[in-house]
Structure 1
Amino acid sequence: MQTSLLTFLLLLVLPGRKTANFTKSVVTLHPPWSRVLKNDLVTLRCEGPGASEDNSTLWFHNDTIIPVQIQDYNITADNITYSGEYQCQIGQLALSDPVRLEVFQDWLLLQTLKLVYMEGEPMVLRCHSWKNKVISKITFFQNDKGRKYSLHDSNFTINQVNYNDNGNYFCSANIGNRKHTSKVVNITVQGTPHPSTSTSSKIWYYILFYLVMGILFAMDTALYFILKTKVNSPKKNMRHLVTKWS
């Protein structure tokens, strides 16, 4: 009964709170992975400009109010129903953008900070095991080709991603004596590689094209006048001979 009453009161207060300030609240994940395994511990933190620990906080899961009013919302993802979109609203700030959390039931999981990167950004991948069991012989794959192998390092970092880093990623590792493989994750890198170089190449292509065309035109014109001179010369000689003998 108390929970239902709290939910009802929060719904009454919510409309006024949402319009009080256009500055949005922000949901952050700790650790920062949006893909987790069953039984992982996750803290969702509600933050924003001017907010403090004393501010009351509203939490939502898939647009349904969660009956807690704390800034740090701690969950143990012991069920895949924890998957979905989370939003929060702290103090007088506006409702946050949704942050998606996905819970998987598996031995291994490839974790990434996000699924879409801009060219030039760093990318960190992690091969994560259920209940943080010790893993070894870890291999990261991109489009079925090995990118990194390590006996114990479960992280794979690319300092600056480019278009060639697009593709499907997964990892494999040993847990004890058994080898396991994670599900595939599609990662997209937006932007074209080396735009300045590409533009410069196009400019030089046009310069060379018009230069070659100009040379060919000059050669063709010169050849035309040479041939015209040779053709006209016998005619002039013949007229000269005819005039002389006549």
Structure 2
Amino acid sequence: MKLGCVLRTLALYIFAAILWAVQILPSASFETLQCEGPVSPGESRRHTDEDVTNPNEAGYQIKGYTFSEPFHLIVSYDWLILQGPSAPIFEGDPLVLRCRAWQDWPLTQVTFYRDGSALGPPGPNREFSIAVVHKADSGHYHCSGIFKSPGPGSPETAPTVAITVQELFPAPVLKALPSAEPQTGGPLTLNCQTKLSSQRSAVHLLFSFYKDGRTVHSRGLSSEFQIPTASEEHSGSYWCEAATEDGQVWKQSPQLEIRVQGPSSSTASSTYNPASQKSTAPKPTPTENSESLPPLTTPSEHEGFSPDPHLHHQMGVLLKHMQDVRVLLGHLVIELRELSGFLKSETTKTPDK
């Protein structure tokens, strides 16, 4: 008698599993399979694996037909399942997850989880959505809920589904042509380099360019910014930004220092050599220098002062001139002191005579 009860129970369980496998397909989002392509409906037909010589190759052909990428259909017999997107999901896409019960039986206390952490309080909503996903939204998702009648009336948990948000395009890199140190009067081209995923090649990116915190070119289709004639005023810190047309995904490049080389920077050392003048001028002692003139300071000694490197070079040349003038003034002060002492001694000797 007990064996018969066990067999009947087992048969009912197997029947329920088969019924669930049959009925989840109509209730899920995979009800309709549609073949889209550049062929008319009358020319398309279905093929099985036996008709294909090498089904692992993408875009393979046989007998004049072109095949689509493989599509994996999963039929589950769990009480509760979490339905995710069937196609790859990229940055900027919306994400919708559905917590589905067997035969769409009513649920309460539905909760969605990512990597084991609840994404909100329990409630009646069977859908969880993210309007714009980013790579940080990748993870392992699942849901849980409590069945109402005619369900089992107990809490159930759906198997975990892995969601991977793919990168739409990498962060751009700013390149300078011909170099980051062009000559004055020559051309300068800045190229904001990045690449869209091959699966989203139809997406259009807009490029913006910035210099020293201000915009020099905003939201253009070209990834290049051209300066026909570079001058020293074009020196500075540049970076670029690549963004989708809707602005949902945008990424910036690292900063690139541009230093336009002017003629003054190359000829300054040849027109003036402070070392030669220092060797001919007499050098006063440190005591005499400290008494006669205050010490000179450079701009780098002041906190919070960071001049343009080219301007800093010009100021360095000027400071060298001032140092030489200071040496000459120190020598002049010594000579004046000696002359003053000599005149005083002559003045005191004259009355005695």
Q: TM-score interval w.r.t. the shorter chain?
A: 0.5 to 0.7
What TM-score, normalized to structure 2? 0.41
What's the offset of the Cα at 1:218?
6.0
CA contact (8 A) 2:80 2:156 kept: no
The more displaced of 96-105 and 118-127 is 96-105
Larger radius of gyration: 2
Say whether residues 1:107 and 2:79 are aligned partners.
yes
Q: What RMSD, in angstroms, separates the aligned Cα atoms of the two structures?
A: 4.0
Over 3 Å counting, the alpha-carbon distance change for 1:46 and 1:212 in structure 2 is: same
What is the aligned partner in structure 1 of residue 167 from structure 2?
190
Say whether residues 1:236 and 2:224 are aligned partners.
no
What's the offset of the Cα at 1:222?
5.7
What is the aligned partner in structure 2 of residue 85 from structure 1?
none
**Structure with larger RCO (C-alpha < 8 A, sep 6+):** 1
Q: Give, as a single letter, the amino acid of the residue that structure 1 aligns with 2:104.
A: N
Higher strand proportion (structure 1 or 2): 1
Identical pairs, percent: 25
Q: Give, as a single letter, the amino acid of the residue that structure 1 aligns with 2:335.
A: R
Over 3 Å counting, the alpha-carbon distance change for 1:58 and 1:225 in structure 2 is: same
Q: Give, as a single letter, the amino acid of the residue that structure 1 aligns with 2:33.
A: L
What is the aligned partner in structure 2 of residue 138 from structure 1?
110
For structure 2, the 5+ residue unaligned runs are 1-19, 26-30, 52-60, 148-152, 173-206, 209-238, 242-251, 259-305, 344-353
Q: Give, as a single letter, the amino acid of the residue that structure 2 aligns with 1:59.
A: H
What TM-score, normalized to structure 1? 0.55
Q: Give, as a single letter, the amino acid of the residue that structure 1 aligns with 2:167.
A: Q
CA contact (8 A) 1:163 1:193 kept: no
Alignment size in residue pairs: 182
What's the offset of the Cα at 1:234?
1.5
What is the aligned partner in structure 1 of residue 273 from structure 2?
none
Over 3 Å counting, the alpha-carbon distance change for 1:188 and 1:234 in structure 2 is: same
What is the aligned partner in structure 1 of residue 188 from structure 2?
none
Aligned partner of residue 106 in structure 1, secondary structure: coil
What's the offset of the Cα at 1:205?
7.2
Aligned partner of residue 151 in structure 1, secondary structure: coil
Deviations 1:161-212 (A, max 9, x none): 22332222222222233242432423223136987688356576748xx965
- Cα separation, 1, equivalents of 2:253 and 2:37: 46
Alignment of 1:1-246 (within 5 A): 38-39=21-22, 40-41=24-25, 42-52=31-41, 57-60=45-48, 63-64=49-50, 93-114=65-86, 116-149=88-121, 151-175=123-147, 176-191=153-168, 199-200=240-241, 202=253, 206=257, 213=309, 217=313, 225-242=321-338, 245=342
Deviations 1:66-115 (A, max 9, x none): xxxxxxxxxxxxxxxxxxxxxxx9xx753333211123342322211236
CA contact (8 A) 1:110 1:128 kept: yes
What's the offset of the Cα at 1:221?
5.4
Aligned partner of residue 96 in structure 1, secondary structure: coil
Q: Give, as a single letter, the amino acid of the residue that structure 1 aligns with 2:108.
A: S
